[in-house]
Amino acid sequence: MSISKGFFPPSLSPAIRIRTLYAYKSQCPEDLSLVENIVIEAHPSKTDDGWLYGTDVKSGRTGTFPKAYVMELEVTWGKVLYGYTASSADEVSLIEDEMVAVVDTSDPDWLKVEEQGRIGLAPGAYIQLTVSWKDPVGGVEFDGEISSQSPTISLPSHPFQG
């Protein structure tokens, strides 16, 4: 891994988890090309507030990219109440009783969930959002719920389909 001059090495700066909002085509060898809705571990620039250095969580590729193309992930953990099989490339499958990282709740019918380094849609009625949590990888523990929705037989209209 090469570090571009002017950027903190990952071990010296706090990493933040971000998601890409837009695609970005690299302009030089040090840049990281982006596609929409991927997760990046990012570090701030030492010299340029408009750029970040980061690693694509799914592919492991590293490089610099414009800060304006991403947003910091604010994660709410949720427990999957019912299994769900994705029916399109925009969706993620859910496994009953697993904990998932919910990164966008602006549409309660279709939540945005992080799955293996990418962001996808999942039916909101299938996930119980939690108030607090402890290490979801090493042992799930949570204290409460934000909502207790019951699943419906039919899913709401998909936000990316006409």
Domains of the chain, CATH where assigned: 10-72 (2.30.30.40), 76-142 (2.30.30.40)
- Spatial distance between the Cα atoms of 120 and 98, rounded to a whole number of angstroms: 16
pLDDT in tens, the chain (162 residues): 333 334 434 444 567 889 999 999 999 898 999 999 899 998 876 667 788 999 998 899 999 899 999 998 888 899 999 999 999 999 999 999 999 989 888 899 999 998 888 899 999 999 999 854 444 444 444 444 544 444 433 444 444 444
The answer to whether the beta carbons of residues 71 and 19 sit under 8 Å apart is: yes
User: Which residue from 113, 121, 126 is spatially nearest to 157, judged by alpha carbons?
Assistant: 121
pLDDT digits (tens, 9 = 90+) for 115-133: 888 899 999 999 999 854 4
